[in-house]
Amino acid sequence: MRRQAHQHSEPHAFSYLNARRRDGLNIFSRRSVLKAGLAGIAGLTLPGLIRIRSEATGKGVSLPGQKSVILIWMTGGPSQIDTWDMKPDRPYENRGPFSPISTKVPGIRVCEHFPKQAAMMDKFTLIRSVDCRFSNHEPNMVMQTAHPEAAPRINPKGHLYPAIGSMVSQLRGPNHPSMPPYVVLNMKSRSHVAWGGYAGKQYDPFVAKDVSKLFQMPRGLTMDRIQSRRSLLKQMDRLRSNLDTQGQMEAMDFFEQKAFDMIAGGRAQSAFDLSKESPKTLEQYGDHDWWRQALLARRLVENGVSFVTIDLSNHGASGTWDTHGDNIPPYGGIWNGLRPLLPIFDHLISTLVNDLDERGMLDDTLVIAMGEFGRTPTLGTQGSTDGRNHWPHVSSMLMAGGGFRHGQVIGATSKDGGEIAERPVSPGDIAATIYHHLGIPLDSTYLDHQGRPIYIIQDGKPISEMV
């Protein structure tokens, strides 16, 4: 019986490997140690993932190749009016302190602190009419799951709706079987991302907090001692003879042994090693932590990860983009809080998209930048001088890559930027576009705890202007 997701602590996200359970009453052997080692690299969830690939192959299903998604999660909710949907003709308390600039695409203007995006706007699609009415944060669920009821603050079961990344894990798996399918980088708080929920803990993301420790072998074991499959199988003979009545042990042996072989191969460890990048590439990205996270995201999809989320925040509260006001720590307002973030983000997304393009990866990689919701049209909410409060009526987001049509703006807002005026885009539309890109059928389902199917798309379809 599955337990609810919030009852698990993060280090036990892959408890199905039973890493801490003795193998029988009296057996405590190398097998237990190896299981602990596999669980220590828990995010790889390789036995389950290999099984998915194996089952698909056995049914004659051809899984798409290198398609992937990088979600740049602007934790806290970026202000639409101060970034991509500026209102320069409005009074100051509405338009804010920044001015718009022209872009490479005639008629599209963005914030003055986005000059690099402006210079390559033909590679981006701006969506100014994202409908985020049901979204909240801490935990950040609705926009990352595309389910309107995934709101734990008001729905006791809201935390059980699986992340889009978790559905990618379950329905598609990784692009390379020795890599995790769904990775979260820079996670500052568990509440910043969505998890496996109904799909199961085995589809939680691999949270890359201290990757160097994850690839350390258990004490007393070396690659020379444990690389031999014959030696491993010999240790499991007694278990097999006692327990294998229906061939289940043999299947487990195969998947867990293959998973171990892949971990030992070092591909995942190599993918997380930024020292393997050229000095030129490292210089292009720069040494800011967010920029290095973007470079790491590129390395991960390049090596076979299907879905990467970057928690783009500097603290574990509700998020760095939650700009309530300078006098409401730790958030900051639009001038002192948001303004310093914009050039950093501008360099991050422009460098990432250019790098993917130069490597021939952009058509296969869909890059998305968004947050939970927008912010109030009026400055100075909550007694602040220049903050903006949560505004779930509308938000803006950015997309690039994926082989889609770009160089356009989709949707529009009212004169003050507070309401959708035309072409609403729902969380379901965003999810459907992601699944379409990855080749996942839009009528796919997962099961709740009563065994009832739930569609991965509740109300949405791929964004027609792009596909």
Residues in CB range of 154: below 8 A, 6 or more apart: 136
- pLDDT value for 220: 57
**pLDDT at residue number 438:** 97
CA distances from 160 to 15, 104, 151, 164, 203 (A): 17, 43, 10, 12, 12
- Would you tell me the crossing angle of helices 229-243 and 248-265 to the nearest 10 degrees? 160
CB 151 within 8 A of CB 134: yes
User: Looking at the predicted structure, is the pLDDT value of residue 299 above 70?
Assistant: yes
pLDDT digits 0-9 by tens, 230-252: 455 555 555 455 544 444 444 44
Give the range among 14-18, 45-49, 103-107, 122-126 with minimum mean pLDDT.
Answer: 14-18
Among 371, 292, 298, which residue's Cα sits nearest to residue 338?
Answer: 371
Contacts of 133 (CB under 8 A, 6+ apart): 392, 393
- Name which residue leads in pLDDT, 137 or 23: 137
Residue with tokens 């402006």: 118
HEC letters along 193-226: CCCCHHHCHHHCCEEECCHHHHCCCCCCCCHHHH
State whether residue 97 is helix, strand or coil. Answer: coil
pLDDT score at 353: 98
| Whether pLDDT at 382 is above 80 | yes
Mean pLDDT for 32-37 is 40
Query: How many whole angstroms separate alpha carbon 258 and alpha carbon 248?
Result: 15
Predicted confidence band of residue 187 (pLDDT cuts 50, 70, 90): very high
pLDDT at 168 exceeding the cut of 70 = yes
| Predicted confidence (pLDDT) at residue 109 exceeds the cutoff of 80 | yes
What's the pLDDT score for residue 177? 86
pLDDT at 212: 60
Contact 305, 68 (CB under 8 A): yes
Closest by CA position to 109, among listed 127, 78, 131, 83: 83
Looking at CATH, the fold of the domain delimited by 45-215+266-455 is given as: Alkaline Phosphatase, subunit A (3.40.720)
Tell me the average pLDDT across 220-233: 52
Length of the chain, in residues: 467
Distance CA 373, CA 359 (A): 33
The percentage of residues in the chain with a pLDDT greater than 70, rounded to a whole number, is 74
Q: Say if residue 116's pLDDT is above 70.
A: yes
Average pLDDT value for the chain: 84
Checking if the pLDDT of 218 tops 70, the result is no
Question: For residues 293 and 188, what is the distance between their CA atoms, to the nearest angstrom?
Answer: 13
Mean pLDDT of the 154-170 span: 96
Give the percent of the chain with pLDDT over 90: 70
Residue bearing tokens 């872009």:
103
Query: In the prediction, which pLDDT does 122 show?
Result: 98
For 199-216, how does the pLDDT look when each residue is reduced to its tens digit (9 = 90+)? Answer: 999 899 999 876 665 565
Confidence band (pLDDT; 50, 70, 90) for 9? very low
Which two structure tokens, joined as six digits, stand for 90?
A: 């409005």
Tell me the per-residue pLDDT of 243-284, one tens digit each, with 9 for 90 and over: 444 444 444 454 454 455 445 558 888 999 999 999 999 999
SS3 300: helix
Q: Supply φ then ψ for residue 421, to 5 degrees.
A: -100, -35
The 10 Å CB-count burial string (b at 16+, else e) for 271-299 is bbeeeebeeebeebbeeeebbbbbbbbbb
User: What is the distance in angstroms between the CA of the first residue and the CA of the last residue of the chain?
Assistant: 40
**Token digits for 185?**
């980088």
pTM for the structure as a whole: 0.81
63: tokens are: 């899984």
Predicted local confidence at residue 447, as pLDDT? 96
Is residue 337's pLDDT more than 90? yes
